[in-house]
A and B are shown apart, each in its own frame.
Chain A
Amino acid sequence: MEILNIAKQSILAPAGLQEQDIERVMSSLLSVPVDAADIYFQSSHYESWIMESGIIKEGSHNIEQGAGVRAVVGEKTGFAYSDKIELPVLLEAAGNVKAIVRQGQNVRTAISKQAAWPRYYHPGNPLKSLADQQKVDLLHKVDRETRKLDSRIEEVIISLVGVYENVLVANQDGTLAADIRPLVRMNVNVIVEENGRREQGSMGGGGRCDYGMFLDQEKALEYGREAVRQALVNLEAVDAPAGSMTVVLGAGWPGILLHEAIGHGLEGDFNRKGTSAFSGRVGERVASDLCTVVDDGTLPGRRGSLSIDDEGTPTEKTVLIENGILKGYMQDRLNARLMGVSPTGNGRRESYAHLPMPRMTNTYMLPGPHDPEEIIRSVKKGLYAKNFGGGQVDITSGKFVFSASEAYLIEDGQLTRPVKGATLIGNGPDVLTRVSMVGTDLELDSGVGTCGKDGQSVPVGVGQPTLKVDALTVGGTSI
C-alpha cells in the first residue's frame, strides 16, 4: 500500500482531491451503461543532460501531469483528458466521454479493491539518486575517457536522461491501482574521421532503476569504448551485399527482428479487427520448432518492464510462440474482452493524453541448442549482423524492415570484412520458419529501445540468442 500512498500524495494531494472525488467522477461515467471505464492520473518528472564538444551544453527539466478519462461500450470508446487535475474539469471530461453512450442509468461506485502485486523495480526517484554535480562530473569523466581512446575521434556527444513517474488508475470495478516507475538512460555517440572519411558509432543503456547503474563496474565508460569501437569498424566497412542470403543475427539488440517481424503482428487490437497477417492463426506453425518467443513485463529493472500496465493489470510472461507454434496474442482490457480472453498486462499508453492499446514490454526468444561460434562456422557465404538501428513493420502485409549498423561478411565460416549498414527486409509470418540454428547465448538489449505505434512512444526491451536465418533479403549496394 506504500506505493499507493506515495502516488496519492504526489498526484491527488496537490490538487486537493480525495478518493471520494475519484468515486464521484467514476459514478458519473457509470451513469450510462458502459462495459468499461477508467480514470488515469499521471505525474511525470523528466530531466536530461547533454554534453557536447566537451561542455555541458544543456540541462532541462520537464514536469508533465494530468488525467485521462475513458468509457468503453462494445467497440466504442469515448476519451477526454486534461492537464488540470481538478474535480470540475474531471467531471466535465466524464460528461464529454459518456456521450459515446446514449441512454442513462443510475449506478453508484465505490473504490473497494486495492490489490497487491509483485514489484519489478524500486520506487525511488532516480533524479535524486545522484546530486546534480555528480551527474555533471560523470558526463565529464565519460567525455574525457572516451576522447582518450583514439586520436581519430572528432566529436563525442553524451546524453543522460532520467524519468520519475507516478501513476494511479481507477477502474469501473472499484479497483484503484498505483505504480511508481523510475527510468534512466545514457547514450554515447561518437564521430571519427580518417583521411576525410567520417563515421559514427553509438552505444547506450538504461533501465527501470537509478543512475547508480552507470557507476557499477564503470558501465558508462564501457558505452564510450563500445561507441568508439563501432565507429572505427565502420571506417573500414566496404559496400554491403545486395540480395537474398543466409544471415546470422547476433545476440541481444538484434532481437528487434522479433519485435518487428512478429511482435506487432501479435498485438490484440490488430487481431481482433482481423488486420494482421497473423489474424486467426493461433495453433498454426509460424516458426521453426527451435523458436520459443515470449513477451515478459516481469523482468526486474528492465526498460520494458512494468509491475502493472496502464490499465492496472499486473504484467505477465506471455508465451507468443512455443516451439514454432503460435500460442496467443498480447492484450489490453478492451481487446481481451471483445475476443473473450484474459488481458495479459499489455495495455499501455504514452501518457494520460493518449488512449491505451496493446503494446509489447520485453520481447525475446529463449535460448536454443547451438554454440554461437558453430553457427557462424556453418555458413559458407552470408552476412553476420551484430548491431542494429531501428525497424518498421506493415502488419497487414507482414513485411518488415530493420537496419543493421554493424555487419560483417561471412566467407567459408569465417567473419572477413566489415560492411556498411544496410536495411534487411522480410515477411513476418515466414521469416522465423527459416531459422535453422538458435544459440545458447540469450542476451537482452542494453536498455535503450523505444517503440512507436499510432504516434505513441513507449519504452520497450528486446532480446535473443544468436540466430541463423537461412534466407533474408539484405539491402546493400554491392550486386
Chain B
Amino acid sequence: MQNREEISRLENLVQSILDEAKLQGATAAEAGLSVDSGLSVTARLGDVETIEHHRDQGLGVTVYFGQRKGSASTTDLSNASIKETVTAACSFARYGSEDPYAGLPEQDWLATEFPDLDLFHPWSLAADRAIELAIACEDAARSYSTEITNSEGATVTSHQGIRVLGNSLGFLKGSESSRHSISCAVLGQRGDSMQRDYWYSVARNPDLLEAVDAIGRKAAERTIRRLQGRSLSTRQCPVLYSAEVASSLFGSLIGAISGGNLYRKSSFLLNALDTRIFPEFVHIHEQPYLVGALGSAAFDAEGVKTRARDIVAEGILKDYVLSTYSAKKLGLASTGNAGGVHNLIVDSGTDDFTGMLKKLGTGLLVTELMGQGVKMVTGDYSRGAAGFWVENGEIQYPVEEITIAGNLKDMFKNLVAVGNDVDYRGNVRTGSVLIERMSIAGE
C-alpha cells in the first residue's frame, strides 16, 4: 500500500471522533470517513468537451445514548466542524425515541480478518492521455458506419480513495480502493428514425478495462441495430432479458429479501424463507471475497464480517439480506449486508446467447428497460421496454414503445433458463434470463 501513512492519519482521526462522541456522553458511536479524488474527461465529435477534477471528502457519525440514535455528516473535516458534527448527532439522539433494536453490531459479528482483495490500482492518468483515449473511443464508434450521425461523446474516468470505518467496540479499519471506467454513447439515423445507445467498461484495475476501440464499436453496433424499431401488437409471449438488463430482476429479488422491506412488511417475499421461489435449477449466491471484483469487501458498512453464502439454492430461498438494525428487528443475526450485497452470482446454464435465442424460439428479446414500475409490496411489475422480436431463434426486427408486465413472484417461478453470456461489469453477475410468459402492451 502506497498510502499507509495517510491511512494511519485518517484512522487516528476517526478514533479521535469516536473519543469525542464518548466525551459528549454517547454510550456507543460509529464513524465513517472517506477521501476521494478523480478525473473525468469527455470528448465529443473528435475534440475534448469537459475536463473535471474531482476531490471529495466526507464524514458521517452515528451516536447512541442507550437505545436512542442520532447521526450527522459533514464535508468539512476541520477540527471545529468535526466537533460540531458530533454535537449535532448527539443532539438528534436526545430527540430520538427509545428503540430496543437500535445499536451497534454485536461484538462477535465484526470482521477481524482483512485479506487483501486487490481492490486498489491507481491509474496515473494525465488529462492529455485521458483525452486521447476518449477521442480514440469515440472515433471507433463514429467511423463504424455512415449511419452513426451524431454523438454524446466518450468519457474516461479514474477515481481512487480511502475509506475508514470505526466504532466504539474497537473496530477501526482504513482501506484503499480504485474504480476506472470508459464509456461511449452515439446516435444513429436512418430515415426518420433516430436512436442512441451506449457501451461501457468498468474495473478496479485500469489494465482490465476493455479496449477503447472495442467499446466504441459496441456502442455503434448497439445503436444501429435499434434503428427503425416498431411497436408490437398487445400479446402474451416468452421474454428473454439480455444479460445487461437481467441483473435488474435479481436487484428486485434482493430488494424483496432485504431486512428493511421485510420488517416494514412491504415485500412480496414476506415469510418466503425456506420456500421455493424459483425453479429447482436456480442457484444464487453472494461472493464477497472475489479478488479484484467491484463488489468485494471483507466487511459491510457497519464493520460486520461478510460471508460467502447461498441466497437461493435449488430454487429455495435460503437467507435474507440484513443489516444490524433490520436483523435485530427480525430477531436474527446480521448477514453483513449494511450497504447492500457484495457480488451476487447467478449460476449459468449451458446455453450461450445464440442458444438462449433458440430456447426463446418466438418471442421478445429485451435489451432496454425504462421507468421504475416495480412494486415491492406486491411484486407487480410493469416497465417500458425496447429490444427485438425473435422468430424461431432468429432476431427479426427492433421493437420499441412497448411495455412488459407480470408479477415478479410468477416471473421468478416461471424462469426457464439462465445463459452463460454473463455480464461481469456490475455487482450482480448473471447471463441472459428467459421468462416463460409475460404480457406485452403495444399499439
Contacts and interface: CB of A to CB of B under 8 A. Distances in A.
Interface of A: 52, 55-66, 75-84, 93, 96-97, 99-100, 132-133, 135-136, 154-155, 157, 191, 193, 198-200, 240, 242-244, 273-275, 277, 353, 355, 389-392, 394-397, 399-403, 420-427, 473-479
A62 B74 CA distance: 6
18 contacts: A60-B92, A66-B75, A76-B49, A78-B50, A79-B51, A93-B53, A198-B270, A242-B403, A274-B150, A390-B372, A421-B380, A422-B373, A425-B403, A473-B231, A473-B442, A474-B441, A475-B439, A477-B406
Contacts of A61: 71-73, 85, 88-89, 92
Given A136-B95, A191-B266, A423-B382, A65 B76 contact: yes
B194 A77 contact: no
A426 B377 contact: no
Contacts of B47: 75-76
B49 to A, nearest CB: 6
A82 B403 contact: no
Contacts of A402: 371
B56 A83 contact: yes
Interface string B149-179: 0101000000000000000000000000000
A431 to B, nearest CB: 11
B210 interface: no
Interface in B366-413: 370-373, 375, 377-378, 380, 382-384, 386, 400-407
B403 A422 contact: yes
Contacts of B264: 52, 155, 157, 191
Given A79-B50, A198-B265, A275-B196, A244 B88 contact: no
Contacts of A132: 91-92, 95
Contacts of B439: 242, 475-479
A59 B98 contact: no
B48 interface: yes
Contacts of B194: 277, 396-397
Secondary structure class of chain A's binding surface, majority of residues: strand
Which of B72, B97, B195, B386 neighbours the largest number of chain A CB atoms within 10 Å of its CB? B97
Contacts of B81: 63
B56 A473 contact: no
A199 B48 contact: no
Contacts of B401: 399, 425-427, 473
A353 B40 CA distance: 12
B54 interface: yes
B49 A75 contact: yes
Contacts of B265: 154-155, 191, 193, 198
Contacts of A63: 72-76, 81, 84-85
Interface of B: 44, 47-58, 69-76, 81, 84-85, 88-89, 91-93, 95-99, 102, 127, 150, 152, 187, 194-196, 226, 229, 231, 234-236, 264-266, 270, 370-373, 375, 377-378, 380, 382-384, 386, 400-407, 439-443
Contacts of A478: 439
Contact of B443 (A93, A100, A244): A244
Contact of A476 (B58, B69, B71, B441): B441
Contact of B405 (A133, A157, A396, A475): A475
Contact of B44 (A75, A136, A243, A474): A75
A58 B71 contact: yes
B293 to A, nearest CB: 23
Contacts of B99: 55, 57
A420 B404 contact: no
Given A58-B96, A61-B89, A96-B53, A425 B76 contact: no
B382 A422 contact: yes
B76 A77 contact: no
Given A59-B96, A353-B56, A422-B403, A475 B50 contact: no
A154 B377 CA distance: 12
Contact of B441 (A52, A80, A154, A473): A473
Secondary structure class of chain B's binding surface, majority of residues: strand
10 nearest A-B pairs in the assembled complex, by CB-CB distance? A475-B403, A55-B97, A59-B92, A401-B384, A396-B196, A401-B371, A243-B234, A242-B441, A80-B53, A83-B75
A185 B401 CA distance: 34
Contact of A396 (B74, B195, B231): B195
A76 B153 CA distance: 12
Contact of A200 (B44, B229, B377): B377
A81 B99 CA distance: 40
A84 B236 CA distance: 57
Contact of A475 (B56, B57, B58, B383): B383
Which of B44, B51, B373 neighbours the largest number of chain A CB atoms within 10 Å of its CB? B373
Contact of B266 (A198, A423, A426): A198
Nearest to A132: B95
Given A132-B91, A198-B266, A243-B234, A475 B75 contact: no
B373 A65 contact: no
B371 A79 contact: no
A475 B382 contact: yes
B373 A244 contact: no
Nearest to A422: B382
A390 B440 CA distance: 20
Given A132-B91, A423-B403, A99 B127 contact: yes
Contacts of A80: 52-53, 55
Contacts of B229: 397
A453 B382 CA distance: 22
A275 B380 contact: no
A273 B373 contact: no
Given A58-B96, A80-B55, A99-B127, 11 more contacts: A56-B96, A57-B97, A57-B99, A57-B102, A58-B92, A60-B89, A63-B73, A97-B51, A275-B196, A473-B442, A478-B439
B257 to A, nearest CB: 16
Contacts of B70: 58-60
Nearest to B260: A52
B400 A423 contact: no
Nearest to B84: A63
B382 A240 contact: yes
Contacts of B74: 62-64
Which of B54, B152, B378 neighbours the largest number of chain A CB atoms within 10 Å of its CB? B378
B202 to A, nearest CB: 14
Given A81-B54, A277-B194, A425-B401, A403 B76 contact: no
Contacts of A81: 53-55
Nearest to A427: B401
Contact of A394 (B58, B98, B370, B404): B370
A386 B406 CA distance: 22
B399 to A, nearest CB: 11
A273 B150 contact: yes
Contacts of B84: 63
Which of B73, B187, B403, B442 neighbours the largest number of chain A CB atoms within 10 Å of its CB? B403
A352 to B, nearest CB: 10
Contacts of B400: 397, 399
A63 B52 CA distance: 23
Which of A65, A66, A273, A401 neighbours the largest number of chain B CB atoms within 10 Å of its CB? A401
A243 B55 contact: no
Contacts of B383: 401, 423, 475
Contact of A60 (B44, B73, B76, B373): B73
Contact of A65 (B75, B91, B102): B75
A306 to B, nearest CB: 23
A159 B41 CA distance: 38
A200 to B, nearest CB: 5
B92 A423 contact: no
A433 to B, nearest CB: 15
A244 B442 contact: yes
Contacts of B55: 80-83
A403 B441 contact: no
Given A65-B76, A427-B401, A475-B383, A155 B97 contact: no
